[in-house]
Structure 1
Amino acid sequence: MSVYLYRFGKLAYRRKWVVLPIWLIVLVGLGALASVVSQPMEDDFTMPDLPSERATEIMDEHFPGMSAQFEFDAVTGTYVIAAPEGEQLTDPENKQAIDALIRELNGLDIVDHSAPLANPVDAAAEMGCLTPDRGGQEFTARCSGAPLNVLADQRPDTVALLDVPFTIEKWEDITQADRDVAYDVADVARDAGLQVEISGSIAMEQEAPGGTAELIGMGVAFLVMIIAFGAIIASFVPIVTAIVGLGAATAVIMIGTSVIEIPSFTTFLASMIGIALSIDYALFVVSRFKHELHSAPTPEEAAGRAVGTAGTAVVFAGMTVIIALCGLSVVGIGFLTFMGLGGALAAAFAVLVALTLMPALLGALGRFLFKPKIPFVAKHDPEDDSYVTNGQRFARFIAKAPALTLTAGVIVLGVLAIPALNLSLGLPGDESMPEDSTVRQAYELRTEGFGEGSNGVLMVAVDLSDTPEGLRERALGDLRSELESYDAMDYVVGPRMSENGDGAMFQAVPLYGPNNQVTKDLVSEARDAEERLAAEYGVAYGVTGTTAIYADIDDKLLGSIVPYMVIVASAAFLLLILVFRSILVPLTGALGFLLSMAATFGATVLIFQEGAFGLVSDPHPIVSFLPIMLIGLVFGLAMDYQVFLVTRMREEYVHGRSPRDAMMHGYHHGARVVTAAAIIMISVFSAFMLEDDIAARSMGFALAVGVFFDAFIVRMVIIPSLLTLLGRWAWWLPAWLDRILPSVDIEGEKLRQTSESEERELVGAGR
């Protein structure tokens, strides 16, 4: 492979004014096509085969239309109304303010007027819930489902709920004007002194993260490359390749929206991966080119050698990332599949621009590439063995005390991993919205008036088709008693019977919110009781609602982690055996990744879940899909650094150095590039912590610390220590396997022979 890349690198360098226009035409063409055919992205986070789907099926059979409220793209809205301090909503002036709000709502085109809206105070009165006597089980059973908090002990009648149906078909169809109208219509009640907030999809503002984060990441990357290259113009080259690679990948994704529905988070992940990898791979190639300029007879030859050696490593590094990201499709969850494929596409373009556009840019810039030089920055070339760099000093320290550095690295990561034992997963809900948002304030008001569990009511759909009519009332009573007996259950409303009597519905309100683990355990308890009730009465039922769906998604994602890791790690392991021609090097690389992952989970739990150091003002459970996304992304990036650093060590070993000396010289040559690449990655990912979206912030943080732990502790401390301790065994490969494995020549031995042969031919021709 190195020979083919070497020849293409020389060709692209020589034919730069052909390659550069081709890339320009491709980029402009893809962008133009995307602008014409692209369709709006549609976020669909539904998952197949969730246990909660059983309740949905029963609803559809006995209560047609009821399950629509649990569809991801359903348009829902609930006005949460609170009385002024010291007053009640039953006070005449406050009730009149609610009536005025309803009149305003009845005048909106976006509101469905097929069923009249009722004042929650009037609804509570019709249920007999405003009587002076509020004691007794009969009152509680009758008024548990009232839209007014008549059961509250301290502040009764102070909070009400007004569910409003909308005519907008899908969440994606909601415009900002619709959100503004839905919020502003309550100004008439607010002017009267009431606090009115909105929950539901009508008030949710979701924008794909990006923009500012990418610019910040690129800015930091530029500064890092100035330090790495010691020159300004060379530092622009990776930025150019990143823009081209990301632009092309994004355009292809947008073109894809004309054929299939693609979630908006696809471009978010592609941005993360595209910028970071394009810059990293370009940095790797340019650094090698800078070194080859000192030994190659011509700049064209230097470009060919750089693409042949560093480019080969880039190909295999990119392949590990692509494998890890494409592997997300094995989970069987649509949005994860698209996010993975989008990131893999960005990684593929990052490799492509590094191998094709990069040598053409090197040729176009020519002698101006490493000018003007920055004084006192990157004074010594790490490829120059006549100078002792900080990387070489640290490598010598590792070589002197490998057991000490190995132990220290493992202990540090082990300690950081301890908080991961308390990992709690959840999906971003109303409680994770910004504190000044109407959705978050609605959540707080609802919690104050009806209890936290009212934000995640369990819907229990019962199928009585196989239950004898004489046993149905008794069966429903038994089921209700079972639900009420759980410690984590607040109260149960119902049953509500279907028209033919073959179906029933309960609303079960937990004590705690949807993302609380106690509530998720409650869902499992409720489902476990079905076997007994089915045997005794022939009852079948399902549990759905926000809480149940969250719990099901958590279980599915957690259950997917092990098979995903086995498939991806196995594929990458085989690939790395081919690269390093060793069993232990890929194995130690994979084990090191497990350490960095454990530490990353621990740090993320510590900051985002437990709120340590006050860095997050509003701690919440970790986003459910973050662990599997994190594993996929960081695994790919970890193998990048493994390839970048250890291939230089193998190159030195193959060329005759002892294992210890090979480690030190390879470290000396590769440390600056890996350090710069890791800092760039960390900068790009950290910039996403500036986003408002909690998923983007937590993912940006987790990716940043994951890269930090893996690059600086695992790849630059633990792996060199292990290679020193293992000695020649590190590069052992069974003879039978060595015979059947194809030679990819990542150390460039065949390339050297080809280069020397071509040089001799040129000399002969000159004579």
Structure 2
Amino acid sequence: MASALHRLGRFAHRRRLLVLTVWLFLLLVVAGTAGRLGPNLDNEFTLPGSTSQEAMDDLGEALPAAAGTSAQIVFRTPDGTGITSEAYREPIRQALAAAARAPQVAGVSDPFETGTVSKDGTTALATVAYPVTNADLGADTVDALEDSVRVAAGSGLVVETGGQVYGDSPGGVHATELIGVGVAVVVLLVTFGSVLAAGVPLLTALIGVGVGMSGLLAASHAFTVSSTAPTLALMLGLAVGLDYALFLVSRHRQQLTEGMPVPESVARATGTAGSAVLFAGVTVVIALLGLTVAGVPMLTVMGLSAAATVTVAVLVALTLVPALLSLAGERLRPRPGTRAHRRQTSGTTNVSERWVRFVSRRPWVTVVVGVLGLLVIAVPATDLELALPDRSTAPAGSTERAAYDIVAQEFGPGANGVLLVVADTAGHDDPQRSAQAVAGQVGNLPGVATAVPTSVAPDGSLAVVQVVPTTGPRDTATTELVETIRDAEPRIRAETGTSVRVTGQTAIQIDLSERLSASLVPYAVVVVGLSLLLLMLVFRSIAVPVKATLGYLLSIGAALGLTVAVFQWGWGLGLLGDVETGPLISFMPIVLMSVLFGLAMDYEVFLVSGMRETYVHTGDAEQAVFVGARLAGRVVVAAALIMVGVFASFTLSDNPTIMSIALALAAGVLVDAFVVRLTLVPAVLALLGRRAWWLPRALDRVLPDLDVEGARLPGVPTIELEDDVVGAGGPAGSRTDPV
């Protein structure tokens, strides 16, 4: 692998202008296409194969208006007077008539006829039905609805609109999220001590993100893409793009300091650091593609979108970064006497090595304290609750959030999460009477506020019973109610002669959350197995992969624990703005597992590969740990700080879904890089000694040698080992060994 990438680096050097031109041309074409088409994002939750989705699909064929999305219009008197007075009735009727004429509207209910007036008589609730799902709504449909009901506001009424048509608020890019770029700039400047060296990772990362994001937005016109997918792709693409370029530039600068010519240094950096970049990128992509195993279209699109962006970041790192390094030429070579030059040539230890020596002095203490500390942080994860977002998570001050809060206050929380019970009335003489019988049976179940027949299909094959729970859509009691109705289906069928199925957006979201929760353990098994296999290929060891995988699991637990403590328990949540506590988004844990897996393996490879190189060429297991920390520790710290900065900046978003994912990723990277990789890993390796690198001979012959470190490249560079690095079994004095 290293030899092939070495040749790719030579090509990028010789054809640097061509490589740069191709990437800039690709960026202009893709960005221009995306800009002309515009985004086409939606948040329709579907769950193929589930009974709730099948019932909804059948309902869509027989009664489209009942299966489509819906909106709510809330009218409220400003002074607590009765809303049924004639002064308010006429403006409300005018608003409802205008709403009925709005684009794509199938029908509007009259609250005075349906009785949806609050008990205190101050609030009325109307429902707007659409014969299509959110994905098929026009771009201006919601705005037209809001405009149509403003006539009622002129009479002094408080008018708010909400409901399913609003979906989840899109992520987008906000000024606060650019803080992560600022953090990256500072870290790169401190790491390299050069504006030019720092500019290469930043420029290439932005180009890669531009290509990936533009391609995703353009593809949204051909495929269903949720509004969360581009934000996750942006967050991950920017972070890995900066990190991968950082590794290459750092290796190139180190080789230039040692006196290597620019052409050979570009090729060598691509062959060595590029091999690790390729391996790290592949692990991230494989983990993201693994999201497809859950069988949830929304999660599949998220995984594919993020995987495509990471793939672009890897290609940019392996082609555009070498081309720019070649264009920069000698200007990237640290000048003698500068801090950057002394840092590369001095034999003294750096901060990373001193820290590793400290934690390895008493390895048992380090391991016990570190593991117990992470387990304590992970304790809140035992209280993990998962659900999909509703309008209670909409930004404070928005009309959909106001409508949700008023409806919950005046009509009960269940009015925001209505269930639909589909009755199979085919062949019945009186479908309406059958529906009424079903409503009577369902209405007697615990947890049901009301159960009312609403509509019958024109051919009489189906009837719909609207069920309002006593609890909100994200409440566990609502989930239990769905199961109660399903369990009662045989008795309902026996009493009424009608089979029933539960559906509606709330039921589909409940089923989706349960499927995602059920997929966590199988996905974890796949990820852990993949981790063991990949690391065994790279390090040709049994202990190193096991240690790395256990560390990854500790990082996952700690990240989930911190996120639960903040977003469910409310610890420090006020620092992030006006955000309500509640269950975490259902797909957050599996997204966290996939992304953090790739990043954890990223840091493991860059840190431990240096240790393995030294051990292979010196045979000194103890000092190999310290030399590896000296060579790669500073770069791992810089990469982790960039990742944390990028992810943490997204916690300032106005979308709670993005905020929780960003916090989990930032916490996971922080814990994994600094506690697991730079603390626990050296301590464990110090405990194991030579046994850390043991691999059965039979397995060694079977496993292919990937040569991630580039040991077989011609003219391998050397490192100067101090007296104590050679070890007890080596000669006295210093010696030079190949890396």
Mean Cα displacement is larger for which, 493-502 or 713-722?
Answer: 493-502
Distance across 1 between alignment mates of 2:104 and 2:331: 64
Could you say which residue in structure 2 is the equivalent of 1:366? 329
Kindly indicate whether the alpha-carbon contact (under 8 Å) linking 1:231 and 1:370 is maintained by their aligned counterparts in 2. no
Unaligned runs of 5+ in 1: 125-145, 757-767
Describe the SS at the equivalent of 2:273. helix
Contact 2:71 2:164 in 1 (8 A): yes
For residues 745 and 446 of structure 1, do their structure 2 counterparts lie closer, same or farther at Cα, with a shift above 3 Å needed? same
1:237 Cα deviation (Å)?
A: 0.5
CA deviation map 1:636-679 (0-9, x unaligned): 11111111111111111111142221111111221111111011
Q: Cα offset for 1:371?
A: 7.0
Cα distance in 2, alignment partners of residues 247 and 11 from structure 1: 24
Asked if the contact 2:56–2:504 (Cα under 8 Å) also holds between the matched residues in 1, the reply is no
2:71 aligned with 1:77: yes
TM-score with structure 1 length normalisation?
A: 0.86
Residue number in structure 2 paired with 1:12:
12
Letter in 1 for 2:421: V
* Partner residue in 1 for 2:704: 742
Match of 2:522 among 546, 557, 563: 563
* Structure 2 contact 66–129 (Cα < 8 Å) conserved: no
Say which is worse superposed, 247-256 or 600-609, in terms of deviation: 247-256
Deviation at 1:432, TM superposition (A): 0.8
**Which SS does the other structure have where 1:387 is aligned?**
coil
CA contact (8 A) 1:174 1:202 kept: no
- In structure 1, the partner of 2:180 is 217
The DSSP-based 3-state class of the residue aligned with 2:410 is: helix
**How far has the Cα of 1:508 moved from its partner?**
2.1
SS at match of 1:77: strand
Deviation (angstroms), 1:258: 5.8
Matches of 2:92 and 2:432 in 1, distance apart?
A: 40
2:300 paired with 1:307? no
For the residue of structure 2 that corresponds to 1:514, the secondary structure is: coil
Distance 1:105 1:308, change over 3 A: closer
Q: In structure 2, how many angstroms separate the alpha carbons of the residues matched to 1:41 and 1:195?
A: 30
Q: Which residue in 1 is equivalent to 2:370?
A: 409
Give the aligned partner of residue 190 of structure 1. 153
CA distance in 1, matches of 2:133, 2:537: 53
Equivalent residues of 2:63, 2:457 under 8 A apart: no
Distance 2:556 2:661 in 1: 13
**Whole-angstrom distance in 2 between the partners of 1:589 and 1:67:** 52
Q: C-alpha separation between the residues in 2 aligned to 1:182 and 1:495? A: 23
SS in 2 for 1:749: coil
Query: CA distance change for structure 1 residues 365 and 474 in 2, over 3 Å: closer, same or farther?
Result: closer
Q: Tell me, yes or no, if the aligned pair for 2:34 and 2:214 is still in contact at 8 Å.
A: yes
Deviation at 1:184, TM superposition (A): 3.7
User: What corresponds to 2:732 in structure 1?
Assistant: none
Matched, 1:511 2:447: no
- In 2, the alpha carbon distance for the partners of 1:689 and 1:373 equals 42
Alignment of 1:500-579 (within 5 A): 503-534=462-493, 538-579=497-538
1:425-450 alpha-carbon deviations (Å, 9 max, x no partner): 11111111112011111111111211
Letter paired with 1:20: L
Question: Which letter does structure 1 place at the counterpart of 2:423?
Answer: V
- 1:236 pairs with one of 179, 199, 204: 199
Deviates more, 1:691-700 or 1:17-26: 17-26
Is it true that 1:120 corresponds to 2:87 in the alignment?
no
State the partner residue of 1:484: 444
Cα deviation for residue 419 of structure 1 reads 1.0
Distance 1:297 1:622, change over 3 A: closer
Tell me which moved more, 451-460 or 354-363: 354-363
Asked if residue 200 in structure 1 is aligned to residue 163 in structure 2, the reply is yes
User: Offset of 1:369 from its aligned partner?
Assistant: 2.2
SS in 1 for 2:257: coil
Matches within 5 A, 1:609-758: 609-613=568-572, 614-616=574-576, 617=578, 618-753=580-715
Aligned position for 1:64: 63
1:19-168 paired onto structure 2 within 5 Å:
19-32=19-32, 40-41=40-41, 43-56=43-56, 59=59, 64-69=63-68, 74=69, 76-105=70-99, 108-110=101-103, 112=105, 119-121=110-112, 123=113, 146-149=115-118, 152=119, 155=120, 157-165=121-129
Q: Evaluate the alpha carbon distance shift between residue 473 and residue 33 of structure 1 in structure 2; reply closer, same or farther with a 3 A threshold.
A: closer
Structure-1 residue corresponding to 2:734? none
| Equivalent position amino acid for 1:524 in 2 | E
2:125 partner amino acid: L
Residue identity matched to 2:405: E
Matches of 1:640 and 1:597, distance apart in 2: 15
Aligned counterparts of 1:3 and 1:96: Cα–Cα separation in 2: 80
Q: Deviations over 1:718-761 (max 9, x none)?
A: 222221112222111110111122222223321255779xxxxx
1:674-724 CA-partner distances (Å, limit 9, x unpaired): 111011111111121222222112211111111111111111112222211
Aligned length: 715
Following TM superposition, by how much is the alpha carbon of 1:162 offset from its aligned partner in structure 2, in angstroms?
1.6
Aligned counterparts of 2:235 and 2:336: Cα–Cα separation in 1: 30
Question: Which has the larger displacement, 298-307 or 572-581?
Answer: 298-307
Which amino acid in the other structure matches residue 216 of structure 2?
Answer: I
Q: 1:99 to 1:374 in 2, by over 3 A?
A: farther
Contact 1:689–1:697 under 8 Å retained in 2: yes
Q: How many angstroms does 1:36 deviate by?
A: 6.7
Q: What is the TM-score with the length of structure 2 in the denominator?
A: 0.89
1:531–1:326 distance in 2 versus 1, CA, 3 Å: same
Distance (Å, rounded) in 2 between the aligned partners of 1:173 and 1:53: 19
Say if 1:232 and 1:374, in contact at 8 Å, map to a contact too: no
Note closer, same or farther for the CA distance 1:513–1:373 as it changes in structure 2 (3 Å cut).
farther
Give 1:87 shift: 1.0
Alignment check: 8 A CA contact 1:307 1:355 kept: yes
Matches within 5 A, 1:278-427: 278-369=241-332, 381=343, 383-384=344-345, 386-427=347-388
Amino acid at match of 2:103: I
Partner Cα separation in structure 1 for residue 592 and residue 494 of structure 2: 44
Q: Deviations over 1:466-491 (max 9, x none)?
A: 88x899979975873454231x3323
Are the aligned partners of 1:27 and 1:244 in contact in 2 as well (CA < 8 Å)?
yes
The answer for unaligned runs of 5 or more in structure 2 is 719-739
Give deviations 1:319-367, integer Å, cap 9, x for gaps: 1111111111222222222221222222222222222222221121122
Q: Which amino acid aligns with 2:236?
A: I
Cross-structure match for 1:440:
401
- The equivalent of 1:762 in structure 2 is none
Deviation at 1:275, TM superposition (A): 1.2
Once the two structures are TM-superposed, the CA of residue 269 in structure 1 deviates from its matched residue by 2.4
Give the deviation of 1:605 after TM superposition: 1.1
Q: 1: distance between equivalents of 2:383 and 2:609?
A: 38
TM-superposed deviation, 1:545? 2.3
SS in 2 for 1:162: strand
Contact 2:334-2:341 at 8 Å conserved across structures:
no
Task: Provide the C-alpha distance between the structure 2 equivalents of 1:175 and 1:500, rounded to a whole number of angstroms.
Answer: 33
Q: Which SS does the other structure have where 2:125 is aligned?
A: strand
Change (3 A) 1:368 1:619: same
Counterpart of 2:244, as a letter, is Y
Cα deviation 1:364-409 (Å, max 9, x = unaligned) = 112222579998x76852x546122111111111221111111122
Are the equivalent residues in 2 in contact too, given 1:483–1:526 (CA < 8 A)?
no
Which shifted more, 197-206 or 410-419?
A: 197-206
* Cα distance in 1 between the residues matched to 2:73 and 2:33: 43
- Distance in 2 (CA, whole Å) between partners of 1:82 and 1:636 is 51
Q: Which stretch shows the higher mean deviation, 472-481 or 192-201?
A: 472-481
- Residues 1:581 and 2:540 are matched in the alignment: yes
Contact in 2 for aligned 1:58/1:462 (Cα 8 Å): no
Give the CA deviation at 1:77. 2.2
Alpha-carbon distance in 1 for matches of 2:98, 2:467: 32
Q: Secondary structure at the match of 2:378?
A: helix
Q: Where does residue 594 of structure 1 map in the other structure?
A: 553
Moved more, 516-525 or 97-106: 97-106
Distance 1:191 1:243 in 2: 48
Deviation at 1:514, TM superposition (A): 0.1
Q: In 2, Cα distance between the equivalents of 1:181 and 1:621?
A: 33
2:216 maps to 253
Structure 2 CA distance, aligned partners of 1:646 and 1:521? 48
Separation in structure 2 between the aligned mates of residue 663 and residue 13 of structure 1, nearest angstrom: 34
User: For structure 1, which segment, 586-595 or 192-201, has the greater mean C-alpha deviation from structure 2 after superposition?
Assistant: 192-201
Which residue number in structure 1 is paired with residue 735 of structure 2? none
- The change in CA–CA distance for 1:191 and 1:251 in structure 2 (over 3 A counts) is closer
